[in-house]
Structure formats: structure tokens, C-alpha cells
Amino acid sequence: MHHHKYRIVIPFLAPALIIYGVFVLFPYLNAFYLSLTSWSGTSSERPFVGLANFRDLLTDGRFLSALGTNAKFLVVLPLFIITIALLYASLFTQGGTGIFGSGFYRVVFFFPQVISAVIIGILFQYVYNPRYGILNASLESMGLENLQRTWLGDSSTIFWAIAAVVVWSSIGFYMVIFMSSMQSIPTSFYEAATIDGASRWRQFFDITLPLMWETIRTCLIYISIAALDMFVIIQVMTGGSQTSAARSVETVAIYMYIEAFSKNRWGSAAAIGVILLVLTLIFSVIIMRVTKRETYEY
């Protein structure tokens, strides 16, 4: 019986496994091999250098600075995205009821998800433009000229300007995930809490948050992976420039791009990719361990 079972299962699994191996496993293995070479990207020769690329990166100030930028995004993005998304989801869905106009707000906050990251980056280039951008124009109309800045040209503001864009564009996606999780919680729990005199906030902390903790953990991992990437938005909003302000928000992914396409150091770029992969796996495991809690069934 078991042999007959495998005869049926293997033909169905084989195409998927072959595709996965060719388009996922092979590129990973090839990247690992390239990280051990000094390949220029165009030469047919790939001189083997062992762990030299990794050793050089660990003493490269620019690479370590890029890691620091990713670390800042890793703290800021989950904090703001999850907090705001949870707030909106609870206002629109908790207990089976939402505030007036919640259906309209759901559409408005989810709308950035239908826009590509490139379009969002270009849009906010105009918003932050120091001469004719809507942000500085709004500040001027309110008599707050002293708050006007060259938002993407100042090292003290560019990080927060980009982080705000990422938060704005991501909230809707996680809001929908949280709303879906909240809708699975029986409304009888909230009805009983209301009878006992619990406020909406008390219900959120005592009922909603514990029962959807697994969903929050999953979203935290997704956001952390995005924070360890941070390539498209930064590349578009800075225009790939190498000004001091742009360098201050240079992430590991952008540095990898520069190493490969600007310096033709594909071996070093592959080593950066391997380090980024390892860091992503480590952070995912750490988050799963640190946020592990008792699972509630209902």
C-alpha cells in the first residue's frame, strides 16, 4: 500500500519540487558560492577567495553603518505599524461593531496597498520637495515657516521622512490582517465583558490582544523582514544619490546594490546577501522565541 501511495504522490510533487529547486534552491546555492569568490560580474573567471569577502565586510565602516540603519528601521517600523494598525482594526471591527463610517475608512487606509512602491516613492518625492512640495506649502499656510525643511536633503530628517512613508503605506495591509483575526473572536466574549462593565479599551487588552497574539507575532516577523530589506522606497526617494543625507539612510540592501552594479564586486555583493539572509533567519527565530506565549483556544 505504501509503495502504491508514493507512486501516486511523487508524480504530483515532482514538477513543484523541480521548479522550486531550479528557481529557489539553485540561486541560493549559487549565491553562497559567489560569496566565496572575487567575481567581477562580467568575467568568465571566478577566483576563489574563501571567507575574505566576509572578513572585509566585518571591518567595512560603510557596511556596519548600513547595518545600523537597518537596526533603526527594525525598531521604528514594527512599533508604529503594529500599534496604529491595531488601533484602526479595533476601532473598525472589535466586538463585531465599528465606529461610524468604518467601511469608508477601511477602503481609505487600505488604498496605498494597490499602489506600487515605486509610485509611492515618486509621489512623496513631490510631497517632500522643499520648494513646491505640499508639506512645506501646508506649513507655510499655517504660519509655521520655521518648521520647513529640505526633508530628503537633511540627514536629521530624511530617516523619519522615509519611515513615515513606509508606515503610511503599510498600515492598511496589517489593519486588514488584524481585522480578519478580530472577526474570528466570538462576539459573546465582548457582550459578556460589556455586561460586566468593561470599557472598550479594557476589552481590547483583556480579550482582543491575547486572542490574536499569534497573528501579531506573524505580522511582526513580516515587518522585521521588510525592515531588513528597505531598498525600493529609499532608492526611489533618494534617486540613488550619494549625498550625505542619502548615505545616512543607506541600508544593507542598497549597499549590496552599489557593490554589484556600481563597483562590479559581485562576490562582495553576494556575501552581503548571504549575511542578510542569515540575519533575517536569526531575527525570525529570536522574535518567535521572545514573543512566545500561551495559546488560547475558543
What per-residue confidence (pLDDT) applies to 294?
Answer: 66
Within a domain: 231: yes
Within a domain: 186: yes
What per-residue confidence (pLDDT) applies to 45?
Answer: 85
**pLDDT digits over 65-81, tens only?**
999 999 999 999 999 99
What per-residue confidence (pLDDT) applies to 298?
Answer: 58
The pLDDT profile of the chain, 298 residues, written as one tens digit per residue, is 555 666 777 788 888 889 999 998 898 899 999 999 998 888 888 899 989 999 999 999 999 999 999 999 999 999 999 999 999 888 888 766 677 777 788 888 888 888 899 999 999 999 999 888 899 999 888 988 888 889 898 899 999 999 999 999 999 999 999 988 888 888 888 888 888 888 888 888 888 888 888 899 999 999 999 999 899 999 999 988 888 888 999 999 999 999 999 899 999 999 999 999 999 999 889 988 888 776 666 5
Within a domain: 184: yes
Within a domain: 44: no
Q: Is 76 exposed, middle or buried (0-12, 13-18, 19+ CB in 10 A)?
A: middle
Find all residues with CB under 8 Å of 270, minimum gap 6, and list them.
31, 32, 34, 35, 37, 39, 53
Torsion sign (Cα): 30, 269, 41, 36? negative
Within a domain: 247: yes
Q: Which three cell numbers stand for residue 94?
A: 472589535
The total number of structural domains that make up the chain: 1
**pLDDT digits over 124-176, tens only?**
999 999 888 899 999 888 988 888 889 898 899 999 999 999 999 999 999 99
3-class secondary-structure state, position 37: strand
Q: What domain range includes position 179?
A: 53-290
Threshold 0.85, pTM exceeds: yes
Q: What number of helices (H) and strands (E) belong to the chain?
A: 16, 0
Within a domain: 270: yes
Closest by CA position to 273, among listed 105, 29, 19, 83: 29
Q: What is the DSSP letter of 41?
A: S
Q: What is the DSSP letter of 281?
A: H
Q: Which three cell numbers stand for residue 198?
A: 468593561
Report the CATH number that the domain containing residue 60 is assigned in CATH: 1.10.3720.10
Within a domain: 36: no
Within a domain: 295: no
What's the Cα-to-Cα distance from 60 to each of 53, 54, 164, 268, rounded to whole Å? Answer: 10, 10, 29, 11
